[in-house]
């Protein structure tokens, strides 16, 4: 059973050229929007943002290039572990981590929760095993998660219908209240996390889109499209996924959020959304 959903701000970036991220001005303002879900199975963390060690040792964990170009705000208080402790919980209270994907700004906090089981699509876990391309070397930082012991690798097979998408069968522990949905394209095993509470669904889309403007199919930004195309492992799949998400945005009982839009984060934090 889902008791409450907390919206956490687990990273802050200010890269140059805001239009690349669907924003106006010179510098963009990006966040790492993560979720902490109180359930009868313990705390569930949806993505982790940057971890405590990323903030304390950025060059060793992230590399100098990422640290400089992303213009990361290195504030340890933004780590998920710090915010969870402020809510009165301990690291061991986080029993499960559900990952949209393993990019450095989504998986950095895994090492802060050594007792948690990490759930991820198997195809995504396999992707960092091959770091021959520059894109892979920049996006994946295996030192963030390679020592973690507890994993649940979910196969993208045996899927079941969920609105206009499909969900995997690997999260039965949550009794159909939390689902993992393949949202492929940005990475080989990118997934969304759907959470049901109070007769509504909240779909966490990770990096399947970057700006709330993209939920409108009439919105077009050449700069943003080019950036997402650059980051995508399969741009055709990415566009197909985005089209599906835009269709879902018309559903009255589904709320959609992505990982990096500061306007979405502010909306849910300011309204005290806890469905």
Judged against a pLDDT cut of 50, whether residue 149 lies above it is answered with yes
Q: Does 273 score more than 50 pLDDT?
A: no
Domain edges within the chain: 2-270
The model's pLDDT over 98-131, given as tens digits with 9 standing for 90+, comes to 999 999 999 999 999 999 999 999 999 999 988 9
CATH superfamily of 2-270: Ribonuclease Z/Hydroxyacylglutathione hydrolase-like (3.60.15.10)
pTM assigned to the model? 0.96
pLDDT at 68: 85
What DSSP letter does each residue of the chain carry, written as one string? -EEEEEEEEEEEE--B-GGGGT--SSB--EEEEEEEEEEBTEEEEE---S-HHHHHSHHHHT-HHHHHHTTB---GGGSHHHHHHHTT--GGGEEEEE-S---HHHHGGGGG-TTSEEEEEHHHHHGGG---SHHHHHH--GGGTTT---EEEEPS-S-EEETTEEE-SS-GGGTTSEEEEE--SSSTT-EEEEEEETTEEEEE-TTS-S-GGGGSTT---HHHHHHHHHH-S-HHHHHHHHHHHHHHTT-TTEEEE-SS-HHHHHHHHHTT---
Q: What is the pLDDT of residue 272?
A: 52
């Amino acid at each position: 059973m889902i008791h409450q959903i907390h919206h956490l701000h687990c990273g802050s970036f200010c890269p140059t050229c805001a239009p690349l991220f669907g924003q106006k001005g010179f510098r963009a303002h990006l966040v790492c929007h993560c979720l902490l879900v109180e359930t009868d199975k313990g705390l569930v963390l949806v993505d982790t943002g940057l971890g405590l060690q990323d903030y304390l040792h950025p060059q060793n964990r992230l590399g100098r290039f990422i640290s400089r170009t992303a213009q990361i705000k290195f504030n340890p208080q933004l780590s998920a572990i710090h915010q969870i402790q402020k809510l009165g919980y301990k690291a061991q209270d986080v029993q499960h981590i559900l990952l949209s994907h393993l990019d450095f700004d989504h998986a950095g906090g895994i090492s802060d929760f050594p007792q948690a089981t990490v759930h991820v699509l198997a195809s995504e876990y396999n992707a960092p095993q091959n770091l021959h391309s520059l894109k892979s070397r920049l996006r994946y930082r295996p030192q963030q998660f390679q020592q973690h012991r507890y994993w649940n690798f979910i196969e993208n097979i045996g899927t079941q219908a969920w609105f206009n998408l499909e969900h995997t069968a690997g999260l039965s522990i949550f009794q159909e209240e939390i689902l993992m949905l393949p949202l492929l394209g940005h990475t080989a095993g990118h997934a969304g996390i759907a959470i049901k509470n109070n007769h509504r669904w909240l779909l966490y889309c990770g990096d399947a889109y970057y700006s709330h403007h993209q939920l409108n199919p009439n919105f077009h930004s050449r700069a943003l499209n080019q950036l997402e195309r650059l980051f995508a492992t399969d741009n055709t799949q990415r566009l197909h996924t985005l089209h599906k998400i835009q269709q879902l945005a018309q559903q009255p009982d589904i709320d959609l959020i992505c990982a990096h839009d500061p306007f979405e984060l502010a909306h849910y934090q300011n309204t005290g959304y806890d469905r």
